[in-house]
Each structure stands twice: as structure tokens, then as C-alpha cells.
Amino acid sequence: MTTASFDSRVQEFAGKRVLVTGGSRGIGAAVVRQFLDAGAEVLTTARSRASTVPEGVAFVEADVRTQAGVKAVAEAAQEALGGVDVLVNNAGGARPFRSALAIPDEEWQDQLDLNYLASVRLDSLLTPGMRERGSGAVVHVSSAAVPTSAPAFLHYTAAKAALQNYSRGLALELAPFGVRVNAVSPGRIATPGGEATREQHMSLDEGAGQDDTTPPMGRDGRPDDIADAVLFLASVRASWLTGRALAVDGGEFPVG
């Protein structure tokens, strides 16, 4: 399922200004492409420019783990777009450790900065404009693995759990002003970054063997599966949805 496959979605976001963090590869790149195809004016970010950023998409090089990087992104959004109607906080990621007790303090801080505080900081700079205009949509990309609390990824899932809790609270605060806030929680998605993380996890877990697990629906997810969900939550078709976390995981994880 892609944007182009539905005539009703063509140009659905015409005239909308969209910011997607971490949009140079994987899920973020799919989100950027779908918004662009749907007529939006798009700005994306990454720590370095990649050839995968489509023509017509504005780009700012920034590290959203830092307050300076977040400020640079917010300023670029104002300069390039004149404000933001849709904010997709997608930047994130993790590397596994052998156990929860092996995760060093600096890695905990890095994960909180990347997977939680980057969204908090960017929201604080950009949602006031949405509130003033009386409309807007924020989508946080979380993880369907949050309920598992796997020891090797506890720093990551704990940060994403905090993101989901925060997302709900922000939604309740902004709902009276016409601004919706939701989260998308991806399961196992076929991306180069995801595959590299799984291989690293297997190398740490000596008893893991071959990673042949498959979600109940019989395949790994695709970046476009998540992008479809993001665009839905950002659209008028989801105008009665806020404060929710939508798991898009092929039935892989328990509801939490």
C-alpha cells in the first residue's frame, strides 16, 4: 500500500508544510517520499546529507540529539517553510548490549537524547505555532517493542516508552487547540539499519543462532507500511484521533 495507489490520497497534503526528522533512509525516507507525492512541502533532517533525499525536498544537516541541533532544525523549518503544519519525529535508533546491566551511562543518555528528548525539544519549539493557528498534527515514531522490555535494548525501549507517555500527555494539552498528537509503533521493518542491529544482537547473544523469526503475518514490514500509518495519522481522515499509539507490527508484539 502506497500513496500513489489511492487516487483519493493524491495531493492530499497540498499546501501543507511538513518536517520529518531522520528522513534520509529507511522509514524516514519512505515518509518523506509519500508526503512529497501527496503534494506537501517537505523539509527533512539527518546528521549528514544523503543522495536518497528526493529532489524538491529541503534539507538541513543537524544532530537532533543536541539542543543546538534541534534549534537549527526549528530555525530551518521557519526559514524554508514559514512554519510547520505536520511534524514527524522519526529520528531514532539503538545498538544492543549483552545485558541491561552492561549498558553504560553515556549510552543511556544518548538513547534518551535521540529517542525521547529530541522530540520533546522540537515539539516545544514548533507546536506553539500550531496552537496559535488552531491546527496541526504531530506524529512520534516509537516502537512496538516497548512492552517487551528486552534487556539488550532496555535503554531504547525505556526511551520509547517515555516518548509514548509524553505523547499522550502532550495530546491532552493541545487537543483543545486543534492540534493532534499521536505515535506510530513499528515492529520488525526490513531496512539496512534494522538488519545491522539484528545482526549485532545475534553476535552478542551466543545462544541466539540464526534469526529466522517472522511476524505472524508472514513477512517483515516495509518502510512504506509505516509511512502509510504516519500519513493517515497526519491527515484529516484521522481528525478524531489523538493521544494514541498505533502498533504497525504484523501482530509481532503484545499490546502494551
Residues forming the active site: 156
In whole angstroms, give the CA distance from residue 135 to residue 61: 28
Answer yes or no: are the C-beta atoms of 161 and 115 closer than 8 Å: no
Cα(94)–Cα(156) distance, rounded to whole angstroms?
A: 6
Given a contact cutoff of 8 angstroms between Cβ atoms, the answer to whether 86 and 19 are in contact is: yes
Distance CA 124, CA 13 (A): 24
Question: Three cell numbers at 245?
Answer: 499509539
Helix (H, G, I), strand (E, B) or coil at 183: strand
| Buried b / exposed e along 129-167 (16+ C-beta atoms within 10 A) | bbeeeeebbbbbbbbbbbeeeebbbbbbbbbbbbbbebb
φ, ψ dihedrals at 19, nearest 5°: -115, 125
Q: Which residue has the cell 518523506?
A: 32
**In angstroms, rounded to a whole number, what is the distance separating the alpha carbons of residues 87 and 107?**
26
Q: Which of 236, 231, 98, 76 is nearest to 155 (CA)?
A: 98
Q: How far apart are CA 256 and CA 237, in angstroms?
A: 25
Q: Is 45:59 a contact under the CB 8 Å cutoff?
A: yes
